Structure 1
Amino acid sequence: MTHDFVSDLKSGKEIITAWSGIPHPLVSEALLNAGYPTVTLDMQHGFHDIASILATVTACKMLGKRAIVRIPVGEWGTASRVMDMGAAAVIAPMINTPEDAKAFAAATKFPPVGGRSWGPARAILISGHSGPDSYLPKANNESLAIAMIETREALDNLDAILAVDGIDGIFVGPSDVSVTFTNGEEIRQFGDRTIDVIKEIAERTIAAGKIPCIFTFLPEQLKLARSMGYRMFALNMDSNIIARGATALLAEIAD
């Protein structure tokens, strides 16, 4: 049986996602086997492409889990394609205006919410639905469109973005927020100059009845974000996890 993190999030539960930039399903399989309920496949700053998304979404299905995909900036066609492949959620970077949010929702949600075109043959198989008549009525509710807020313009427009039908959550990259809100002076996740922005985004997202999501590198950052009300957490990324594990293992045999 497939674990449905989407319904968990919508019911108020927390989810921790692995983060994958390495475009091979075996890496994501290892992270999922370690206990992560889902994995986010990064096409923006990671190295996933359409072929690796297809392979990894299939691997997730084999393990009874569903995948998230972060698309490159403004690639609404890619958003639709990865959903047709069976991705359960899409994260879109640089959603700065309500118009951006509407374009994103249109690509990921079927009418009457959006304008996603019909062609989810693979998604129907991945989802476990018996056919199109079973899939279509539930597809919008069983998927997530998550908008990234990264700029001052986006923060100014946050309430309008949250009001767009079809936007299910907001994702914060603390590094992005740090670079933007310190005018390029530092990269300091949860730093003194940006922590109030991160907290404000959570508060406004929760007030709108949407899902607050965030990237964290360290367990203490996750715990801090949890105290602010965030409910979906990315916890580090595959390359860092591998490197940290290797470092720890080598340290055990050092003289």
Structure 2
Amino acid sequence: MRMNPLKALWADRKPAFGTWSTLVHHPRFMKLLAVTGLDFVILEMEHSDFTIGEVGTLCLMAREAGIVPIVRPAGLQPHDYTRPLDAGAMGLLLPNVETAEQLESILSVTKFYPRGKRILNLRGPHTDYVRLTEPLQQIETLNDQTLTIAMIESQVGLDNLDAICAVQGLDAVMVGPDDLSQDLGVPGDMTHPTLIAALEQVIAACEARDVPWGFSCQDRTSAERWIKRGIRWMPYANDAAALFNTFSSAAADLKTMSGRQGVAS
């Protein structure tokens, strides 16, 4: 079974870098991302049309290629969490975690005995089809190597963050700035003092509990700023943004070179 390299990075207090897959669901994309040197890829099910079959194929390819597949689930039912894990996801990014009790209830279905009651299946994509002779050892390894990352996206989550960070089995915290800004009454304003104060609150709470924290960065300048600050979880842009930014810039440059600036076609 593959070990989760993000666990080792965080144990060494080093940051992990990745990106999002939100529209590209060709398996070769996982190989391409792995070759870039990124550590992880988030497979987006909450805001995409990805099917569980597609996600399973992407997880399998990502594992084989050497990049950690993490799934943001499509729903809140137990099978919304366990099906991606059984399909090979090496972690879950949990939307809008607001209380320690909510997180505990999710862990109870995503962790095996004795931490939880996840339905036992010891041979599948999540075990690389390897079944160890000591089931308890395999269960312990799976529990330890499967990541649980909680998203803070509301004032309620902020208010309960210390208790959330104290839950056994939480690996990292991610701020969802878009939804959080909306809940704080400043929708989409990423520079508003209210949102900045909330980010600082998350950082302080996580560092007090030694929980890795982070959020998405969209450019190198902001990435460098937060790396210096101690960020340890950074999804960088996503597939849609990377494609749009690359080709919109190229298209503008090419039209300028050819004298087409200001021309509609």
Residue in 2 that maps onto 1:80:
82
For residue 73 of structure 2, what is the amino acid of its counterpart?
I
Aligned length: 252
State the distance in 2 between where 1:129 and 1:38 align. Answer: 25
8 A contact 2:30–2:65 mirrored in 1:
no
State the distance in 1 between where 2:198 and 2:133 align. Answer: 44
RMSD of aligned Cα (Å) = 2.2
State the distance in 1 between where 2:107 and 2:169 align. Answer: 5
Which of the numbers 40, 55, 58 marks the counterpart of 2:57? 55
- Residue 2 of structure 1 and its aligned partner are, at CA, apart by 7.2
For residue 114 of structure 1, what is the amino acid of its counterpart?
G
* Equivalences for residues 1-255 of structure 1 within 5 A: 4-22=5-23, 23-122=25-124, 123-125=126-128, 130=132, 133=135, 134-181=137-184, 183=185, 185-254=186-255, 255=258
- Residue 190 of structure 1 and its aligned partner are, at CA, apart by 4.4
Deviations 1:177-226 (A, max 9, x none): 22121x2x430224333112112102211211222131222222323333
Name the SS of the counterpart of 1:18 in structure 2. strand
- Residue 246 of structure 1 and its aligned partner are, at CA, apart by 1.4
- Residue 131 of structure 1 and its aligned partner are, at CA, apart by 5.9
* Structure 1 runs not aligned, ≥5 long: none
- Residue 21 of structure 1 and its aligned partner are, at CA, apart by 0.7
For residue 164 of structure 1, what is the amino acid of its counterpart?
V
**Rg larger in structure:** 2
For residue 58 of structure 1, what is the amino acid of its counterpart?
L
State the distance in 2 between where 1:29 and 1:191 align. Answer: 38
Runs (4+) of structure 1 exceeding 6 A deviation are: none
- Residue 33 of structure 1 and its aligned partner are, at CA, apart by 2.5
Kindly, what percent of the aligned residue pairs are identical?
Answer: 23
Residue in 1 that maps onto 2:262:
none
8 A contact 1:9–1:232 mirrored in 2:
no
